[in-house]
Amino acid sequence: MILVKQSVLRLFQYRDFLIRSKKLGKESIFSDDFAENLGTTSIQVRKDFSIFGLSGNKRAGYKVDELLKQLNDVLKKDEKQKVIIVGAGNIGKALMKYDGFREGGLEIVALFDNDSKAQNEKAKPPVLALEQLYGFINENKIELGVIAVPYHSAQQVLDIMILAGIKGVMNFAPIALKAPKNFYINDMNLKIELESIAYFVKSLKKKRT
């Protein structure tokens, strides 16, 4: 199966759109609706579905309930995913307070910080000491993590996470982390994304002078 990475990201977006449409009472949706909603083309949408064996109805689009069920299956949205966040600073806390994750089946079950002032066992979710990281992951069989610590601590934190059983992380530290091959890392370099917008904006200006 080719074309996977980008298609999977879009499938998750199609799913979100389906959920919103269902809430509005829609019963069927066309590939054009998906395209319009997420800024792509209907060809792209159908191709994505085609790759994963998802099919609709000629001239009648896709039945919302049916496609949602198929999509949940393909995207393995069977059970809740527990997530931990290491680093309870700006980013860590912002993610913690966001409740949109729940809809995607993601539950932030704990944060970890080495600064005792940031810790709070009673909070929901609790903010625990770094020393508890290994044990918590291990006991609760956590597989997903977020790294939101300064860049000079990121690798050492990741090493603990890997050892304890985490299988993939979203990383906000601006550094390339080292991990085994079967470990999945998604780097979110916000600073560079913003800098590049500045660059492309300047480029666009040049072109139209």
Ligand X SMILES: NC(=O)c1ccc[n+]([C@@H]2O[C@H](COP(=O)([O-])OP(=O)(O)OC[C@H]3O[C@@H](n4cnc5c(N)ncnc54)[C@H](O)[C@@H]3O)[C@@H](O)[C@H]2O)c1
Partner DNA sequence: GAATTATTGTGAAACGATTCACTTAAATAA
Partner DNA sequence: TTATTTAAGTGAATCGTTTCACAATAATTC
Which C-beta is closer to ligand X: that of 68 or that of 127? 127
Judged by CB, which is closer to a second copy: 43, or 131? Answer: 43
49 binds ligand X (CB under 6 A): no
Q: Which of 8, 35, 109, 118 binds ligand X (CB under 6 A)?
A: 118
- d(Cα 54, Cα 49) in Å, to the nearest integer? 5
Q: Of 4 and 163, which CB lies nearer to DNA in the complex structure? A: 4
Which range binds DNA by CB under 7 A, 47-55, 86-94, 184-192, 193-201? 47-55
- Interacting span for ligand X (CB under 6 A) from 6-14, 74-82, 83-91, 161-169: 83-91
Any contact of residue 56 with ligand X (CB under 6 A)?
Answer: no
Q: Which residue is nearest to ligand X (CB)?
A: 89
Q: Does 58 bind a second copy (CB under 8 A)?
A: no
Gap between the Cα atoms of 187 and 133, Å rounded: 21
User: If binding is defined by CB under 6 A, does position 130 make contact with ligand X?
Assistant: yes
How many residues in the shown chain lie near a second copy by CB under 8 A?
56
Chain residues 84-123 in contact with a second copy, contact rule CB under 8 A: 90-91, 93-95, 97-98, 100-101, 104-106
